[in-house]
Amino acid sequence: MARRELPLRARVRIILYLRARNPGAKSLREIAESTGVPLSTVSLNMQRLQEEGLVELKEGRYVLTEKGREYADSILLTLRDYVMRVERPFLLFMLVGVLISSLLGVLVSDLFLYAQVVMIALLLYKILS
């Protein structure tokens, strides 16, 4: 019987969570609560990640192996490249829109203004990181 593929989204969330929390090992319950991934899905993912040598179980708690940390870092680099290549132009466009509307004194709705502030914060974060 062929093994069913697990959702990539849950796997990535778990790996990145463990990478952000290393060196502190986490239990299945802690991982599930912190990532919002169901406990049964976390359990199945951790079993597969162990088989792949990406995590190891130490005293009932999970930690990334060196191979797991390298995998997590490759995910982060891929995400960063995507954001810089695809989303950066959009964020710059939004920043220009905010500056123009501010200079012209255009009244905007609170929701739209809030969205612009969030976009500026994201832009600054992405440029500076």
User: Measured between alpha carbons, how far is 129 from 123 in angstroms, rounded to an integer?
Assistant: 10
51 and 13 inside one domain: yes
- Average confidence (pLDDT) over 65-92: 81
Domain end point (choices 18, 33, 64)? 64
Of residues 107 and 124, more confidently modeled:
124
Model-level pTM greater than 0.95? Answer: no
pLDDT for the residue numbered 47 = 94
Number of domains in the chain: 2
Q: Please check whether residues 56 and 19 belong to one and the same domain.
A: yes
pLDDT of residue 64: 92
| Euclidean distance between CA atoms 43 and 56, whole angstroms | 13
> According to the model, what pLDDT value does residue 114 have?
58
- How far apart CA 64 and CA 36 sit, in angstroms, is 19
* Exposure of 91 in the CB half-sphere (CA atoms within 13 A): 17
